[in-house]
Amino acid sequence: MKIYHFSLLFLIFFLGLVIKTDISIGRLKKIEAERAEIKSALTSAVSDAVNYLTETGSYGEGTINKEEVLRTFFASLYSSLGIISDKSAQGEIEMYIPVILLCDIDGYYIYYYQEYKASDGNTYIERTWTEKLPYSYEDDDFIYRFTLTDMVYIYDKNNILNHEDKVIKTDVKEFSINPIYADFKKSHGESILFKKEDFYLIRKGAIINKLEEDMSYFVSSHNHIARGQGITYRFSFPAGRKDGWADYMDDVNLHVVFQGYPYGSDGNYTYNKIASAGAGIIRKPSYYVEEKSWYYIAHIQGCEKIRESNTLLEESFDTLEECVKMGAYYCECIEYGARVPKLE
């Protein structure tokens, strides 16, 4: 065999290797593009759903329109994936969404699959919402129902507050300075109701743990239903891994668990993501201090009396505690607190 024969064989081998590499790179690029498309579709759909909440004001105190949130989410998702008219593809992709979590100001809902037996004796599968579940926490003295604001509901287990109501609704900042609870403060100064930083840390931790526990339960329960649909993927919520979803707990928010979705030419890859978005609804009010003849008076942002005053201090305050340190009394726009005494 002459040398040009070796050169020809080498050239054939080299070209084959290059072609094979190009094909592999092209396949990987296609797989990565498909993955990016799914990620973009999910992110856009969750953002569109929470934008609906922001634009319509549909949130808080039982007014949240859960069905419209779902309609907005799925319409956006199907449109982005090009399956807006393909009911079969829609049903398939929905099976890889075991849980949707919607956090309102004063509680949360979980959208999940359930199996039930009807009166005709047949077993059916449907998706449904839970009732509103509370952000709850308990210590030796109280059962707390937290909200995403400073408002908290307190169930007095041992009647140590001597309040006429067993359940007290209060702003935690105002509770700590309310003279009604002065005796309780003396005897229970270590309560989280008097320690602002502890209260916020415990509240956030309790909410996250509660949500993680419930999502883990419903995601695991989805395995039984998924197997009945021919899906062999093992669904499990990544407990202990916050994956960014916990960063949204200071506001109304939406989380979509998307797991096990097969993609790639042979379906050899699976896509997993918790897509999350916050509505940017809850904004902390500012407080303003007005200087009177012999005293200061604090107003909450939006108080009508602010517009009529020309003696407001230039600086605004983030908390009532800052106003109290100046010796300010409370305007009637603030529900609880020390009022200006009447001098005779």
| Alpha carbon distance 207, 107 (integer Å) | 10
173's tokens: 């900042």
On the question of pLDDT at 4 being above 60, the answer is no
Q: Over the stretch 130-172, which tens digit does the pLDDT of each residue have?
A: 999 999 999 999 999 999 988 999 999 988 888 888 889 988 8
- 106 in Cβ contact with 136 (< 8 Å): no
Q: Over the stretch 203-249, which tens digit does the pLDDT of each residue have?
A: 999 999 999 999 999 999 999 999 988 999 999 998 766 667 888 88
Predicted TM-score (pTM) of this structure: 0.76
| Alpha carbon distance 275, 341 (integer Å) | 53
For the chain, the average pLDDT equals 85
Confidence of residue 107 (pLDDT cuts 50, 70, 90): very high
Q: Over the stretch 30-58, which tens digit does the pLDDT of each residue have?
A: 778 888 899 999 999 999 999 988 776 65
Residue of 211, 217, 228 whose CA lies nearest to 276:
211
On the question of pLDDT at 293 being above 80, the answer is yes
Question: Pairing mode, if any, of strands 312-317 and 151-156?
Answer: unpaired
Task: Decide: helix, strand or coil at residue 238.
Answer: coil
| Residue type at position 26 | G
For 140, the enclosing helix (H) or strand (E) is: none
Residue of 262, 255, 267 whose CA lies nearest to 219:
255
| Alpha carbon distance 103, 249 (integer Å) | 8
DSSP state of 243: T
Write down the pLDDT at residue 5. Answer: 54
Task: Decide: helix, strand or coil at residue 266.
Answer: coil
Confidence of residue 117 (pLDDT cuts 50, 70, 90): confident
325's tokens: 């340190």
- 320 in Cβ contact with 299 (< 8 Å): no
State in Å, rounded, how far the first CA of the chain is from the last one: 123
